[in-house]
Amino acid sequence: MKICVASGKGGTGKTTVAVSLALALDNVQYLDCDVEEPNGAIFLKPEINQKAMVEIPVPEIDEQKCNYCRKCAQLCAFNALVVLAEKTLVFPEMCHGCGGCSYICPQQAITEKKRAIGMIERGHAGDIDFIQGILNVGEPMAPPIIKKEQSLIDASRTVILDAPPGTSCPVIETVRDTDFCILVTEPTPFGLNDLRLAVETMREIKVPFAVVINQWGIGDNVVDEYCDQEGITVLMRIPWDRRIAEGYSRGEPAVAVLPQLRGNFKKLFNQIVEITDESLTCIN
Amino acid sequence: MKVCISSTGRDVGALVDPRFGRCQMFLFVDTETMQCEAVENPAMTAGGGAGTQAAQLAVDKGVLAVITGNIGPKAFSVLDAAGIKMYVGVSGTVQRAVEQFKNGDLPATGTPSVARHSGMGAGKRI
């Protein structure tokens, strides 16, 4: 079972939920896919014992062979190549590594060289198989790193994927092959606005989802009302509690600060199992 | 001499668009005859690489100079490598900009004038 923890808005408590869920369950693999700013490690404190670079192929032009026909520049959807009268320029940071330019070059003037964009770290936090991706500062493309993390998924475990915030490519990459997505939000107009975007995204990519409201009690009822209208299940309401915030600032997971929450997260998981079983039954 | 000007409209009476890569329109003007060709910027709504795509267009049209409000680092590298001179910080009508250029009143720039992604926001942030 692969469960993604996502949100429209940043700072709603994805990591709080993902980490607490990982700690409340047995036989878990935790993937931190928020590769621009992975922070699950602060709470899970894993012992890292494997590191690997993530590289993408980028074009290298052999000026001796290039006849400036510009087929490569016309093909590139990301404008990473520009052909001048007697020079072909490559902008490696814009290249998505599709390999199309080297494939179509009639002069075979393009070879691919590897460019490192980040790394993957793997280790253990207690019994949890811990994996995190780290995108190098200034690099724009998170998906290749997330894909690499997902290639390490151990299907014999309950896999928890901590997604980046928002609804852009890295989020889609993280969530699309999972069995269920928890959308974490806060009970405020900001939380609602971004939750709507996340809900539209999940409906579009057809991943079953439900909502967890964090910091319940700080705002208003707009999120509850919205979920009610839309027929979206609210799986859990984590009350606003200063002790959780204080623990967070010290790098302590919510379930460590308030051990009674452990049962709530187990229940959360059981509800998800029930929902996904039901949807499977529907499909069958 | 043929020059490329980022423009908000189709003729020389239009205002110079302050963005290069994500401007609305390019006017290719012959400074001798003031003959003008308007080309919609194919890169205005590009997901990424607007600067390089727009610069490629200017190169393909064989211009010797680009006149605009601001220019980003990638468009700068392309135009610089192609030996095209760049004149930035220009505002007012295209007509006036061309006249200033012909009179030698515009200093060429040797560096990009804005950071990458500065022209994004579909015209909302000018």
Q: What is the DSSP string of A141-199?
A: --HHHHHHHHTT--TTSEEEEEPPSSSSHHHHHHHTT-SEEEEEE-SSHHHHHHHHHHH
Three-class DSSP category at A238? strand
Using pLDDT thresholds of 50, 70 and 90, give the confidence band for residue B121: low
Which of B47, B48, B56 minimises the CB distance to A82? B56
**To 10 degrees, what angle do helices B73-81 and B50-60 make?**
20
The tokens for A20 are: 């607490």
| Angstrom distance (rounded) from CA B98 to CA B2 | 11
- Per residue in A252-267, pLDDT tens? 999 999 999 999 999 9
Cβ separation A79–B77 shorter than 8 A: no
Asked if pLDDT for residue B20 goes beyond 50, the answer is yes
Same domain, residue pair A202 and A72? no
Q: Is B74 on the interface with A (CB under 8 A)?
A: yes
> A239 is in which domain, residue-wise?
2-54+120-283
Strand partners, A61: A110
Cβ separation A91–B46 shorter than 8 A: no
Number of H helices, E strands in chain B: 3, 5
Q: What is the DSSP string of A77-122?
A: TT--EEE-SS-EEE-GGG-----HHHHH-TT--EEEEEEEEEEEEE
Average pLDDT over residues A198-211: 96
> Nearest CA to A171 among A8, A1, A18?
A8
- Helix (H) / strand (E) element for B94: namely helix B94-102
Same domain, residue pair A91 and A159? no
| Angstrom distance (rounded) from CA A173 to CA B34 | 51
- Per residue in A69-78, pLDDT tens? 999 999 998 8
Same domain, residue pair A86 and A175? no
| Angstrom distance (rounded) from CA B65 to CA B113 | 16
* Residue A193 in domain: yes
- Helix (H) / strand (E) element for A31: namely strand A28-32
Per-residue confidence (pLDDT) for residue A205, from 0 to 100: 95
Same domain, residue pair A81 and A203? no
* Residue A115 in domain: no
- Per residue in B88-110, pLDDT tens? 999 999 999 999 999 999 988 88
Which of B52, B77, B82 minimises the CB distance to A79? B52
Per-residue confidence (pLDDT) for residue B124, from 0 to 100: 45
Give the CA dihedral A113, A119, A120, A124, nearest 10 degrees. 150
| Angstrom distance (rounded) from CA A1 to CA A21 | 13
Per-residue confidence (pLDDT) for residue A284, from 0 to 100: 45
Same domain, residue pair A198 and A92? no
Same domain, residue pair A37 and A150? yes
Number of domains in chain A: 2
Same domain, residue pair A177 and A137? yes
- Helix (H) / strand (E) element for B6: namely strand B2-7
Q: Is B36 on the interface with A (CB under 8 A)?
A: no
Which of A78, A84, A140 minimises the CB distance to B81? A84
- Single-letter amino acid code for the residue at B46: A
Per-residue confidence (pLDDT) for residue A281, from 0 to 100: 60
If one counts every other C-beta atom within 10 angstroms of the C-beta of residue A242, the result is 7
Average pLDDT, chain A: 94
Same domain, residue pair A38 and A77? no
Q: Final residue of a domain: which of A44, A79, A108?
A: A108
Same domain, residue pair A183 and A83? no
Asked if pLDDT for residue A103 goes beyond 70, the answer is yes
CATH of the domain at A76: 3.30.70.20
Asked if pLDDT for residue A282 goes beyond 60, the answer is no
- Per residue in A219-243, pLDDT tens? 999 999 999 999 999 999 999 999 9
- Per residue in B4-15, pLDDT tens? 999 999 999 999
**ipTM computed for the complex:** 0.78
Asked if pLDDT for residue A114 goes beyond 80, the answer is yes
The tokens for A19 are: 């980490």
The CATH code belonging to domain B2-102 is 3.30.420.130
Asked if pLDDT for residue A14 goes beyond 80, the answer is yes
Cβ separation B56–A80 shorter than 8 A: no
Using pLDDT thresholds of 50, 70 and 90, give the confidence band for residue B45: confident
CATH of the domain at A253: 3.40.50.300
Same domain, residue pair A135 and A50? yes
Cβ separation B52–A87 shorter than 8 A: no
Same domain, residue pair A88 and A42? no
| Angstrom distance (rounded) from CA A88 to CA A73 | 9
Q: Is A32 exposed, middle or buried (0-12, 13-18, 19+ CB in 10 A)?
A: buried
The pairing of strands A28-32 and A158-162 is parallel
Per-residue confidence (pLDDT) for residue A37, from 0 to 100: 94
For chain B, give every domain's residue range: 2-102
Same domain, residue pair A228 and A197? yes
Could you tell me which chain B residue has the CA closest to the CA of A95?
B49
Cβ separation B49–A94 shorter than 8 A: yes
Average pLDDT over residues B42-63: 88
